[in-house]
């Protein structure tokens, strides 16, 4: 397993991150624990979750499942554990968002559910436009000083949000953000315009979520032809209808290369210089293991160029403003 520093920090994480969004939703406790153990056995030390995952409003079920794995002997000291704050966890007005009150209270609740004394990467799940950065950083500084949080990250931020957040942290002489988690895959490349350049300039690791575009890049045409059920068959059919020509061309390319589509999609992300670790979201241990070959796959320049033809970047490609200007 190759390990890489998370952004400008000294923290080393695996090149793939185990996402746990399916834990408690489409994967029960036993299957979830099997995936956690299997990931660690194969060197994946990076686990991402959220206080809102699990499918039960306010329950933090996914965090509870991970906490149960630690309680049964899962080695906490070997895991780089990331979770998130922002989503509403109750009906009262202060049970969501990024107020100092909710950040601190949500962290305490996550720690209890996870059965741990610290969170390695505490991520803001979304930007909160109603809360000043000074208040957010005040709360994060408190948690870091108390030893309950090691690093702070963001998720679903625009490029200018990253810049504004980091500028506020710099004024307080605080480390600030170390990573940004964003939707990024061959089909969804908007972050190449502003988010990736901002992250690179600020020294943030990039953690792409939905690297297979909710399964569309994992052989959707073949699965449809073979009658393989998906997690959301109607949703997959609609998405496939929208992108069918590109997906068919993509799967033909993968077949010519003798490679699984999911491996090619992940390898493409791993080849992007800004990307630290794509977040895979398996529903079973078998799906987890299907992702691992991407770690040893290097795509040639001709393949990368062909992928750009099938899934064109926005505008002229690359960062703004060159993507649309001279």
What's the pLDDT tens digit per position in 54-80? 988 989 999 999 999 999 999 999 999
Give the DSSP per-residue string, 133-169: HHHHHHHHHHHHHTTSEEEEEEES--HHHHHHHHHHH
Assign domain 3-215+269-300 to its CATH architecture: Alpha-Beta Barrel (3.20)
Question: pTM for this structure?
Answer: 0.95
Mean pLDDT of the chain: 96
Of 88-92, 226-230, 274-278, give the lowest mean pLDDT range. 226-230
Q: Where are the domains of the chain?
A: 3-215+269-300
**Catalytic residue annotation:** 53
Question: Which helix (H) or strand (E) segment is 14 a member of?
Answer: strand 12-14
Helices 233-257/261-270 angle, 10° precision: 80
**pLDDT for residue 90:** 94
CA atoms within 13 A on the CB side of 234: 0
| Banded model confidence at residue 227, pLDDT cuts 50, 70, 90 | confident
Residue 243 burial (10 A CB sphere; 0-12, 13-18, 19+)? middle
């Amino acid at each position: 397993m190759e390990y890489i520093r998370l952004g400008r920090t000294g923290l080393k994480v695996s090149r793939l991150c185990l996402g746990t969004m399916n834990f408690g939703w489409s994967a029960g406790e036993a299957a979830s624990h099997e995936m956690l153990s299997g990931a660690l056995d194969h060197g994946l030390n990076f686990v991402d979750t959220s206080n809102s995952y699990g499918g039960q409003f306010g329950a933090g079920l996914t965090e509870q499942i991970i906490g149960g794995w630690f309680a049964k002997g899962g080695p906490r000291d070997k895991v780089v554990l990331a979770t998130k704050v922002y989503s509403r966890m109750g009906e009262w007005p202060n049970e969501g968002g990024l107020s100092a009150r909710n950040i601190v209270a949500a962290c305490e609740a996550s720690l209890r559910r996870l059965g741990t004394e610290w969170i390695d990467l505490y991520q803001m799940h979304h930007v909160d436009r109603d809360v000043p950065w000074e208040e957010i950083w005040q709360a994060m500084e408190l948690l870091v000083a108390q030893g309950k949080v090691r690093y702070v990250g963001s998720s679903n931020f625009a490029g200018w949000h990253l810049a504004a957040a980091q500028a506020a942290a710099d004024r307080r002489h605080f480390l600030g953000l170390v990573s940004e988690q964003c939707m990024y895959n061959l089909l969804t490349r908007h972050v190449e315009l502003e988010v990736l350049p901002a992250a690179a300039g600020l020294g943030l690791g990039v953690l792409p979520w939905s690297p297979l575009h909710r399964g569309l890049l994992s052989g959707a045409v073949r699965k449809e032809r073979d009658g393989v059920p998906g997690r959301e068959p109607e949703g997959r059919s609609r998405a496939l209808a929208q992108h069918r020509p590109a997906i068919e061309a993509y799967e033909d390319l993968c077949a010519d290369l003798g490679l699984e589509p999911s491996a090619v999609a992940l390898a493409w992300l791993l080849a992007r210089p800004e990307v630290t670790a794509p977040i895979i979201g398996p529903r079973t241990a078998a799906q987890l293991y299907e992702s691992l070959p991407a770690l040893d796959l290097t795509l040639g320049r001709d393949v990368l160029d062909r992928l750009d033809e099938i899934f064109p970047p926005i505008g002229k490609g690359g960062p703004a403003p060159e993507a649309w200007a001279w």
